[in-house]
Amino acid sequence: MFRQICAIGCLVTSVYGGTALPAFADRVWHEKPVYRSVEPLCGAHEMSPKKLLDLSSYSLSTKEAGAIENSYVCVIRSALQGYAPAQARLGELYRLDPEGLSGGSIRGIVNDPDAALYWLKLASDAGEARASFLLGQMYELGEGTLQSDTEAAACYRLAARQGMGFAIHIVHELENRPQRVALFEARYDAKVSSGDADALLAYARAYLGGGPFIYDATKAASYVQTAADKGDARAQAMLGVMSLRGLGVSRDLEAATAWIIRAAKGGNHNEDWRLYWLHDDADLTQASIAVIEQASDEGLLRDRAVTSDKLDIVANANREPGSRVTPAMNDLSFPALMKIADSGDAGAQVNLGGRYLDGVGVAPDATVAKTWFLRAAAQNADANMILGDMAYTASPSDAVAALQYYTTAAVMGDPVGAKNAMTLYAKGGDRSKAYAMAIALDDLKARLGPLGVPSSLSKLSAEERAKALQFLCEQRLAHHR
């Protein structure tokens, strides 16, 4: 049936995640290739690892569709060939936004401290000063490893010997940590005791890596909570993000929504944009969705992404594959719908296919229905989802075709397609591609919290995870063609 959901869509635990956009386009490929979004630049022919890395940065400097995906493919291919600067770049990407508070997001990359350590250590051993420096930061923060000032200092010293001379000053700061802590406490303790919001936030940032203390997100959250309870809008916004990310507090979407809206009411609109993603998250309660909509209707939220479209996307937040008939089309006569479909409108084609599949106003005909879905498939994720459902539930089941349709739906933006593809890849033993679909789902589910990869996929090596990301990017690039 047209509204029958493929059972495998219910078998996979949802995954979440988000990261921040880096400013790292510091290299330019001066040979200026002709850039086309429909072709992966580094996939057309063999290139040296150095040229691949240069091309990665050049891709990011363009505004072409697929630039980010192409950049990832280039840097991963270069890193897998053993090129140390590319390994350092890949490690840097994997440790983006360690505190989880940055305001941007970058598609396809999730925080992965284990992978970051792996690639940075390879690059550091090969003499890359920036990799050694970033390793020092990870040890200093206890990011993906035990916190150790001793290991951090060793990495910073190595970075200084490899050419990053200023790193030696950080070694001196680590060695003088007790004195710096004493000076910090002397400056702020009295103000903290009196409830001064600036002092409370200074302590919070200090515990998040911006001061003399050893990184401790839980302690940071306690200071932010105190300032937020006192009505400081900056702290309320910050606590909203920490609740969203499970940083120092339990992950709580309802609390995140409430704190970000309280911050907006207090005049801080830095995190308004996150409400767009929260609103589209299937785990958010209807009560919180209503609160966001009310704030948007009242003009309280300033983020254009939230207010310009009146948050209409929520109507499809929990939609099921095979049941997404465009409401506006339902009332059209069959000839009117046919005319629109013949003109090339993908939504009308999906609707018309659904009518043939369900026998609405016409005799049921699965063959004709499939023809209309196929016509819409190049433009429409729903068409691919329905084709996937039809293939998977056929007798005999065609899991290969279903997998291709679900993968296409995933790269076109359908989270259910990503879940189904992840399940089928894992069932077929291709854990790398299953992990790629987990990344896609992580991206599509709103880029909110930490990646929740199914346990069966969590043991992939760093190189396998990089190949998974490469596969996902290549699929997205193929969609641009």
Q: Write the DSSP symbol of residue 12.
A: S
Name the percent of the chain lying above pLDDT 70: 77
Nearest to 296 by CA among 280, 317, 272: 272
Q: Predicted confidence band at 370 (pLDDT cuts at 50, 70, 90)?
A: very high
pLDDT for residue 310 is more than 60: no
> Which of these ranges, 97-111, 120-134, 291-305, 447-461, has the smallest mean pLDDT?
97-111
Tokens 């609160």, located at residue = 291
What does the pLDDT look like over 18-34, one tens digit per residue? 333 222 222 222 333 33
- 28-37, 192-201, 339-348, 404-413: which has the highest mean pLDDT? 192-201
Tokens 């990310």, located at residue = 245
As a whole number, mean pLDDT of residues 191-218 equals 92
Residue 245 tokens, joined: 């990310």
State yes or no: cis peptide before 396, omega within 30 of 0.
yes
pLDDT for residue 444 is more than 80: no
Architecture of domain 41-175: Alpha Horseshoe (1.25)
Contacts of 176 (CB under 8 A, 6+ apart): none
As a whole number, mean pLDDT of residues 111-133 equals 93
> Which of these ranges, 110-114, 155-159, 449-453, has the smallest mean pLDDT?
449-453
Q: Fold for domain 182-316?
A: 1.25.40
Q: Write the DSSP symbol of residue 372.
A: H
Instruction: Tell me how far apart the alpha carbons of residues 148 and 136 are, in angstroms, rounded to a whole number.
Output: 9
Q: How far is CA 46 from CA 4, 29, 71, in A?
A: 45, 16, 15
What does the pLDDT look like over 246-288, one tens digit per residue? 889 998 989 999 999 999 999 999 888 888 778 777 678 889 8
- 89-98, 194-203, 414-423: which has the highest mean pLDDT? 194-203
What pLDDT score was predicted for residue 46? Answer: 73
- Judge whether 402 and 388 are in contact, CB under 8 Å: yes
Q: How many CB atoms lie within 10 A of CB 183?
A: 12
Nearest to 209 by CA among 167, 240, 174: 174
- Judge whether 114 and 474 are in contact, CB under 8 Å: no
Q: What is the pTM of this model?
A: 0.70
What pLDDT score was predicted for residue 20? Answer: 30
Higher pLDDT, 81 or 93: 81
Instruction: Tell me how far apart the alpha carbons of residues 250 and 246 are, in angstroms, rounded to a whole number.
Output: 5
pLDDT for residue 159 is more than 60: yes
Instruction: Tell me how far apart the alpha carbons of residues 418 and 438 are, in angstroms, rounded to a whole number.
Output: 7
Say yes or no: do domains 41-175 and 182-316 share a fold.
yes
What pLDDT score was predicted for residue 243? Answer: 93
What pLDDT score was predicted for residue 238? Answer: 96
pLDDT for residue 301 is more than 60: yes
Contacts of 323 (CB under 8 A, 6+ apart): 2, 3, 5
pLDDT for residue 107 is more than 90: no
pLDDT for residue 61 is more than 90: no
CATH no. for 327-480:
1.25.40.10
Enumerate the domain spans of the chain. 41-175, 182-316, 327-480
Q: How big is the CA angle at 57 (ends 37 and 15), to the nearest 5 degrees?
A: 75
